Amino acid sequence: MSQVSLDPVHALEISTATLPLLVPSACVAEVIGVQSLTRVPHSPRWVVGMLGWRGKPVPVVSMDALLRNSVQPAGGRSRLVVFYPLPGRKAWEFFAILAASEPQSRTIDSSILATSVDLPDNRYIATAVKIGKTVAAIPDFDALKAVFYPG
């Protein structure tokens, strides 16, 4: 069987306490240091607050809380990874993910995508791949959109 060869994709490996996430760099608007967040009452546990970013309000998500219901407090090395709005959403609907440390740049090619790893079923993970010895999960952005913006 022939393998489809893909052009290399620039990605960011975002560390969380649960497992690293691998996202296309093109999805990310900016990585910034942690700053004070405004609490948003009646938000799910996985929303850790609202960030003021470039004068815009941006909700901040804990993927640890979303993936395994465990909220990890931000530490000195934590970063906020600001994402562009998900496809189909309004132009101002940026969101951010709380990262445990500075995201690392990765280049993803067909050989890495061929190392698909089985993870315990989680609706927010599309698949997982091996980068060296690290297993990184690729988020299912459709599932994230469904839980972020229900109805």
Partner 1 sequence: MANAEQYLRIEIAGTHYLLPSNASLAIEQRHNLEVNEKSGDPVSAWRVVRSVRWPAYAMDADLNVTATDDWERAVFLDARPVPVGLVANEIQLLPRTDLVVEPFTPLGQPPVAAGPLFNGAWISEKSALLVFEPKALTAWLQSFGGAQ
- The minimum distance between CB 86 and partner 1, in angstroms, equals 11
Q: How far is the CB of 52 from partner 1 (least distance, A)?
A: 4
Task: Compare residues 75 and 150 and give the one whose CB is closer to partner 1.
Answer: 150
CA-to-CA distance for 129 and 3, rounded, in angstroms?
A: 16
Q: Which is nearer to partner 1, 56 or 130 (CB)?
A: 56
Q: Which residues bind partner 1 (CB under 8 A)?
A: 38-44, 46-47, 50, 52, 55-57, 59, 61, 90, 92-93, 95, 147-150
Q: Would you say 20 or 59 has its CB closer to partner 1?
A: 59
Among candidate residues 28, 27, 92, 87, the one with its CA nearest the CA of residue 59 = 92
Whole-number minimum distance, CB 122 to partner 1, in Å? 18
Given the complex with partner 1, which of 81 and 112 has the nearer CB atom? 81
